[in-house]
Structure 1
Amino acid sequence: MSERTRTILLLADFHRAGVEPVIHELKDRLETISRVELVDLRTKEELRRHGGDLAVVLGGDGTLLSVARKMAGNEIPIFGVNLGKLGYLAEFGVDDLDLIIEMIRENRVGFSRRMMLCACLKNGRENFVSLAVNDVVVQAGPPFRMIELKISIDGLELTTIKGDGVIIATSTGSTGHNISAGGPVVDSSISAVVLTPLNAHSLTHRPLVVSSSTEICITAERVNSGSAVIIDGQVTCPLGSKSVIKIGPSENYFLLVHNPRYSRWHTLQTKLNWGIGVNYKDEVGS
């Protein structure tokens, strides 16, 4: 594919502080090597209709997760330019615009293929279906009484969790809500799913890592009026008693472009401070 026939999508909330000057600079520079299409995320249009070859998303990790779900099926490599707080998935900063241009011009865009989950909720007569990049969370919600969830894997009953809920996370999402709840960090290159109970009223319920091909079925035996299923911390659907959630691998993948200036462990080390040693004081007289 020649440079001039290639289309690059630039996606952002154009009204967000700091976005306008960056996106116009990037557009002007990219137009010297490719066709460019601007997409304002505030318009809530159907993103799948945009048929670009590469995408550059300006925003935080939340913006990147939203775009990945909405563009599922296109499967084009996505650059994340961090304008948010953490920037765990969005590995590029505003200072990396020269690098982004160079990578695209020289056609050396390295990316990883991240699995996504598909969650299907049967809530009485209503059905809710959504993809997830990070996680699917079943949360107790108000009035914050303990809920009861029956879990089965590939049709085989596993356990019943009584507590505040459960997190079903991808390896990409293992460093999100999952890690805060005591779940393991999983190498993002591994296709796996983590099941992490939330405050289970038991000493024996511990996080479980299963194959990415697994189908997890959650039956809501007892829930609260405010209980809900939450997708990537962004999309919420009410959860009723006896509702059934089936979670399995999606046929779609999220193609995340990596910043070649950093190793695969750089973000874990610098953003989450993983592996930082104890700051021992010198012994007296040593």
Structure 2
Amino acid sequence: MLPEADPPAGNDAPCAAELLVHRRPARILLAEDMAMNRELITAMLQGAGHRVDAVPNGQQAVEAVQRGAYDLVLMDVHMPELDGHCATRAIRGLPPPVGSIPILAMSASALPDEVQRCHDAGMNGHIAKPVDRATMLDAIDGALGWAVQGGRAAEHPDGAPRSGAVPETFMAVESIPLRQPLDRAMLAQLSDELGEESCARLAVAFLDELPQRMSRLRKSRESGSPLAEAQALIAPAASLGLVRLASACRALSAALRAGRRHEAEGLADSVLDAAEEGAEALRDTLSRGRETSRFKSLAKDIVRTP
């Protein structure tokens, strides 16, 4: 479905409703290995009118774009089997139009070297995790060349970045306070944005995955590299308001990337402690919500989660 005609000349401030008409629905492929992130991002995209398919790794993303007609790929950078960089290079090696599909990277790091690596792999932009809904939709609009008020203009008519230019479609990762295990206002905001049912699915998926994630972190810690598990937890923890866990994972990831192994040992303990404390705080908050209108449906599902 093509966008409708542009508004008449001189109409410099179209209303929000008109802008929504111009933003056509797109069929998007989401490649993300963590179930909670898939749920969260899918809910954000569907709420904006997009159609979404999701796959858990880069290899399946490469296979999916060859089977279906997608307008854009949201590609997690750190995934099993085939990471986002390798998957993007594989897609770029395919014949057009598949090989030229816009691809936006997603990762917990927005550092210049990470953004440059994504650009070098052939990606059209970078979105930092935890994903901000408005920033993500703005980046999608830019990659597809849509003119949306307040959004970024396409870097090139076909959606590809200009030669030698590093895309700027990423947000800075804000620091998160270390003191509190759960920011209830952030959890309430997520429920308001996505609705209680979607928020319930996200919370259940996170609490279901957390024990396995912590087990893998302990094992990878023994083998010397828990970086992947620490990075994977940053976005979902921050989205649910588990601020201490998100901060601990960020600190551990930074120490490991910098080669500070001795410091990383203590930070790994902090991640494990924060995960246990955060899960308990999340369950407690949602269980208490049974007595109020907020989180009523959330609590009903959460209390059954081990």
Q: Which has the higher strand share?
A: 1
Q: Give the alignment's TM-score, normalised by structure 1.
A: 0.33
Larger Rg: 1
Q: With CA pairs under 8 Å and 6+ residues apart, which has the higher RCO, 1 or 2? A: 1
